[in-house]
Chain A
Amino acid sequence: MSTARTIPPAPNGAAAGETPPPDALLAMYTTMLTMRRFDERVRDLSAAKAIPGYAHTYFGSEAIAAGVMAALRPDDWIASTYRCHGHAIAKGVALEAMAGELYGRTTGTAKGKGGSMHVSDFDVGMLGAFGIVAAGIPIALGAALTAMRKGTGQVAVAFFGDGAVHQGVFHEGAGLAMLWNAPVVLLCENNQYAEATAIEYHLNTSTIADMACAYAMPAERADGMDVVSAYAAARRAVERARTGGGPTLLELVSYRFSGQYEGDAQGYQPPEEIARWRERDPITTFERLAPERGISTEALARVADEVDRAVDAAFAAAERAPFPEPDDLFDDVYVSYP
């Protein structure tokens, strides 16, 4: 069996002195809980057919997006996948605009043209969510190239899954990133499944991080179920990129609690396995460790309350928002077209 499924021990996690102060940690918790509550709503609305189309929830990987985004500057770029809700929330996309997009309303991030798989918001550094596996990797590389040419000091992060490492563009992107010494982080969310395919089947190196050897790229593998570990690892990669050290392949190990999409019966995931990983749920893990990290139970409760209200408000507003008019169909195909 490959070791890709096992959580790496320290020192890959947060080293001593790397744990952020309580207020920063609480912000990460807020982000994680927002993702969780948002996607719980998505799950329910999807089951009730109130939200059209496919919905890919982020349950189990919340610590990754929260940790990585905490290591970024607001003007850094990310490129995401169809499983984009968590990334978008952590990068700061407005909940109401996201909910609006999922409902196909004019208030959505794409005015209803994109849907759940294609959230974007340039203003907060969210380049967009791409539905073709691995498509965002070279796009993030391109954003890194712009940052280099213009000397902005920005870093770009490409989010992709464990299954995506078999696509040509992952390898082509990795090779070019090294050649250009680009300020890019190849951020693999190893949630151990690519649709119905478990990582045991599809990965033939023992870890995804190992694949970086072929490109002489620095790589790291860390626990993606603990936000502090994810943050610490992301910080190392982001600092390397920002200080001219070039790309990093960062593998963060998590687990996909949900099916591939909402409605997928998940029959291929052994229930015991799901239960075992549930014990490492990033949110309950955080809550358990909160006291020793200097965060009170009251503070957690306050956050939970705020998050509930914010998510409620976002979906309520989205439900009230108008649908586009049929003629809106023709807008936005080109910038200009005579």
Chain B
Amino acid sequence: MRELTVKDAINEALVQAMEADPDVILMGEDIAGGAGRDDHPGALDAWGGPFGVTKGLATRFGRERVMDTTIAEAGFFGAAVGAAMTGLRPVVELMYVDFAGVAYDQMLNQAAKVRYMFGGKQKVPMVMRTVVGAGFRAGAEHSQTLYSLFTHVPGLKTVAPSSAADAKGLLLTAIQDDDPVVFFEHKRLYMEKEHVDEAPVPIPFGVAKVVREGRDLTIIAVQRAVQFSLAAAHTLAEEGIDVEIIDPRTYSPLDERAILTSVAKTGHVLIVDESYPRCSLATDIAALIADEGFDSLKAPVKRLTAPHTPVPFSPPLEDAYLPLAPKIVAAVRAQLGAGAAIGTRRG
């Protein structure tokens, strides 16, 4: 069975999308690598972005389709919007989501709103790929997971795959989709491997994945939290606690039914996300469950997120910052304990 890393799965999706459709182009900083030194054999494809995700594509498709840009995010994001409106399907890379600030206006106000404010007569089939995540000792400006900044905005779709096969299938869908899609890639998941079909099989948006079936408690896990939750599930299983893990995979649209169905089954829910807690995906999902799933709850909805602080640099601080498996284990135990107590009280 053929295994691919998340990084290679994304690369393969880009290759297949570019082969299938000549209108697909890539833009980003150092995504080809070594621009301006075309006289030097080592230059082409020296980079492929800082994580090597687009490596090989410039050689394969040429610099006309794999375009290195200057450090002008507002410029090339806006160009992507315009190109998407007029017939291309640009896939643009924001090297780290932390740089969203300088690119954001084109996403927030142009990409997201063109369709609506022009009365449904236009479309913006672009994809913004970007890198998120702590755990790299990269400090406050290179470690954020700003999912909610984009999920908040009507008109944008958001995707955050946690595995290689999902990354490939969801990226294929994102590129074929006629709306602007923000595709989050977690830097600490790039080297994770699994079987990935060679054939290009798109995975539809708005369909959550049940990563692990269980009966006692539902964990809704956002991107890398799936990894943490699986480790926690292993420990909990030894104690006889059987958790179900749901990976929503896309956040706009969100598979509300899958979440509510699982909560109805277990009656307990913990939402795990390494993002800031305020106005976050975790908070959004908690609100959904409170609104629509209250009757099936045996205990209050719990969120396990990063604290309301920037991402710290120092290793012990960053480790304390993340919702790692031991914290999930403790939260699940507490949640089930609380549930039992409430069950008794309600008699």
Q: Is the CB of B36 within 8 A of A201?
A: yes
With the chains together, A168 CA to B99 CA distance in Å? 13
Q: Is the CB of A195 within 8 A of B29?
A: yes
Q: Is the CB of B35 within 8 A of A198?
A: yes
Interface residues of B in 288-323 (CB under 8 A from A): 307-310, 312-317, 319-321
With the chains together, A116 CA to B39 CA distance in Å? 34
Q: Is the CB of B30 within 8 A of A198?
A: no
Question: How many whole Å from B314's CB to the nearest CB in chain A?
Answer: 3
Q: Is B51 an interface residue (CB 8 A)?
A: no
- Give the interface segment out of B10-18, B69-77, B192-200: B69-77
Question: How many whole Å from B322's CB to the nearest CB in chain A?
Answer: 11
Interface residues of A in 252-283 (CB under 8 A from B): 265, 267-270, 273
Interface string of B116-144 (1 = CB under 8 A from A): 00000000000000000000111111100
- Give the interface segment out of A140-148, A228-236, A324-332: A324-332
Q: Is the CB of A112 within 8 A of B314?
A: yes
Interface string of A79-108 (1 = CB under 8 A from B): 000000000000000000000000011001
Q: Is B98 an interface residue (CB 8 A)?
A: yes
Q: Which residues in A have their C-beta under 8 angstroms from that of B315? A: 52, 104, 323
Interface residues of A in 144-172 (CB under 8 A from B): 163-164, 166-169
Q: Is B237 an interface residue (CB 8 A)?
A: no
Q: Is the CB of A112 within 8 A of B313?
A: yes
Question: How many whole Å from A114's CB to the nearest CB in chain B?
Answer: 6
Q: Is the CB of A164 within 8 A of B42?
A: no
Interface string of B55-83 (1 = CB under 8 A from A): 00000000000001011101100000000
Q: Is the CB of B309 within 8 A of A132?
A: no
Q: Which residues in A have their C-beta under 8 angstroms from that of B37? A: 198, 200-201, 268-270
Q: Is the CB of A112 within 8 A of B141?
A: no
Q: Is the CB of A164 within 8 A of B317?
A: no
Contact of B139 among A114, A133, A328, A333 (CB under 8 A): A114
Question: How many whole Å from B346's CB to the nearest CB in chain A?
Answer: 35
Q: Is B47 an interface residue (CB 8 A)?
A: yes
Q: Is the CB of A132 within 8 A of B74?
A: no
With the chains together, A248 CA to B309 CA distance in Å? 38
Residue among A163, A201, A327 with the highest chain B CB neighbour number at 10 A? A201
With the chains together, A278 CA to B106 CA distance in Å? 42
Contact of A196 among B33, B98, B307, B314 (CB under 8 A): B33
Q: Is the CB of B316 within 8 A of A113?
A: no
Q: Is A288 an interface residue (CB 8 A)?
A: no
Q: Which residues in A have their C-beta under 8 angstroms from that of B310? A: 113, 333
Q: Which residues in A have their C-beta under 8 angstroms from that of B71? A: 133-134, 163-164, 166-167, 194, 202
Q: Which residues in A have their C-beta under 8 angstroms from that of B313? A: 52-53, 104, 110, 112-115, 118
Question: How many whole Å from B5's CB to the nearest CB in chain A?
Answer: 19
Q: Is the CB of B312 within 8 A of A131?
A: no
Q: Is the CB of B34 within 8 A of A196?
A: yes
Q: Is the CB of B33 within 8 A of A268?
A: yes
Q: Is the CB of B307 within 8 A of A268?
A: no
Q: Is A197 an interface residue (CB 8 A)?
A: yes
Q: Is the CB of B33 within 8 A of A131?
A: no
With the chains together, A194 CA to B30 CA distance in Å? 9
Q: Which residues in B have their C-beta under 8 angstroms from that of A72? A: none
Q: Which residues in B have their C-beta under 8 angstroms from that of A194? A: 29, 70-71
Residue among A118, A269, A329 with the highest chain B CB neighbour number at 10 A? A329
With the chains together, A110 CA to B317 CA distance in Å? 13
Given contacts A117-B142, A201-B35, A330-B307, contact A268 B312 (CB under 8 A): no
Q: Is B46 an interface residue (CB 8 A)?
A: yes
Q: Is the CB of A117 within 8 A of B42?
A: no
Q: Is B240 an interface residue (CB 8 A)?
A: no
Q: Is the CB of A117 within 8 A of B141?
A: yes
Q: Is the CB of B138 within 8 A of A54?
A: yes
Q: Is the CB of B142 within 8 A of A131?
A: yes
Q: Is the CB of B29 within 8 A of A118?
A: no
Question: How many whole Å from A265's CB to the nearest CB in chain B?
Answer: 8
With the chains together, A236 CA to B310 CA distance in Å? 40
Question: How many whole Å from B56's CB to the nearest CB in chain A?
Answer: 14
With the chains together, A112 CA to B140 CA distance in Å? 11
Given contacts A132-B101, A330-B309, A333-B309, contact A53 B138 (CB under 8 A): yes
Apart from A104-B313, A195-B30, A268-B42: 19 A-B pairs, beta carbons within 8 A: A53-B137, A104-B137, A104-B314, A105-B314, A108-B314, A114-B313, A118-B139, A131-B140, A132-B102, A133-B71, A166-B71, A196-B34, A196-B35, A196-B47, A197-B29, A269-B40, A270-B40, A326-B317, A330-B309
What residues make up the interface of B, taking CB atoms closer than 8 Å to A?
Answer: 29-30, 33-37, 39-40, 42-43, 46-47, 50, 68, 70-72, 74-75, 98-99, 101-102, 136-142, 307-310, 312-317, 319-321
**Top-7 shortest CB links A-B:** A201-B36, A268-B34, A198-B36, A104-B314, A115-B313, A112-B314, A53-B137
Residue contacts A-B, CB under 8 angstroms, 14 given: A104-B313, A113-B310, A118-B139, A130-B141, A131-B98, A133-B99, A166-B75, A196-B33, A196-B34, A197-B34, A265-B46, A268-B46, A269-B37, A269-B40
